[in-house]
Structure 1
Amino acid sequence: MQQSFDDVRRQIRIALIAIVVILPVGIVGFMVLENRNFLDALWLTITTLTTIGYGDIVAKTEVGRIFTLMLIIFGLGTFAFAAQAAVALLVSPTLREIRQKRRAAKAISKLANHYIVCGSGELVTKTVDSLFESAQARKLHQETELYQPLDTVLDNLLGDDDEGNYVKLRKLIRQAYLACANLILRRQSILDVVVVVTTDHDYANELRDNGLLVIEGDPTQDET
């Protein structure tokens, strides 16, 4: 079962607290058990926790070595726990939804001469589907126009595409060409000037995943 966003945040807080506790414990432990000064104790603690182990400063007493082993075990366990929680947070659907909402809010604030579709239901679904179809058709048309000069050059260099000359190489070149073009060109579609306002949370997430700008809220309320 996927962890909740609150559970992951709690795990990260626990990991941070543990790291804050382990670091001074290690420093004090080496200062007391190994009779080290602060800088040497800090160096030994950091190299122990990160498992770098340069070997220039090491624990020499039996008690110090036992303490080092315990520090390694607890330190690695804490960092592994923190890493797992951080990864879970980064891939969390809730965090992804928050990022999508922020991007949408930023984009919506810059809109002018845009269209607003309110509500949910069959009529709204058909309207949105029609917008998606229109945007996809425009995208294909733009890509065809974009590829035309490239295809002419490739035909001259590699032979006619219809005869199956260097099909795989052509595909790779076209993909690279499109990727570069997308970085340079800003091709607007109808989806960039349409905002959907709906109270249906699941429907809103579905639309966001498809690149549509969405505001969750009651369209009859002024604050929305």
Structure 2
Amino acid sequence: MNGPRKTALVIGASRTLGLGLAAEYLRRGWNVIGTVRGSRRTGLHDLAEASGGRLTVESLEMTDPEQISALRDRLARRTLDLLFVNAAITRGDIPIGEVPADMFTEVMVTNALGPMRVVESLRPLVAPAGTIGVMSSDQGSITLNTEGGQDLYRASKSALNQLMRCHAARHAEDTRTLLLMDPGWVRTELGGPDADLSVEESVPGVVETIERHRGERGLHFLDYEGQVVPW
């Protein structure tokens, strides 16, 4: 590999898409920092042991602002070429009028507020020509919502997209690339067993799309095939 290795920080890398992203960047010769919740051993720890020191594991509960600040302090001497935030939960397909307030808050904090806190806090660690990516979904697209369902999950992803637009507008002079990524319908705990894609089919496309748009200023909402997703 020519020159110093690039470094990616993948938030939420313990399993499925996050773990797949960490593995794919390792395969491409990068150094990777991946975060997990708590101290439980995960697939990321196994990947780290086999990485020859190129993958390090950090602990982060993304809904805790103090833990985000502590992670920023621990990584203060690192320069990131990519910050990618991968986190989402769903609590079932419940009509919005039946969603309890505490469930609404939990999903919105996890899927929208938490990721944006990470972006805002860790942005200074990303190189001026680097990339900040957040895992979104085509279910966050208002244009594409013609069938309804998954009210709360859709709303949380739309909120995430809007908040990234706010971030991009507030930092309009920034030279970093900002990406909202739709990984497709993937067979994960969230996507379910009937989804179209495996993690192994989705992740290389996500990474290829991220790398293809490196150096392009502004915010882009794209899918794993590199296609623009309508707002």
* TM-score interval (norm. to shorter): under 0.3
Structure that is richer in helix per residue? 1
TM-score (norm 1): 0.17
TM-score, length basis structure 2: 0.17
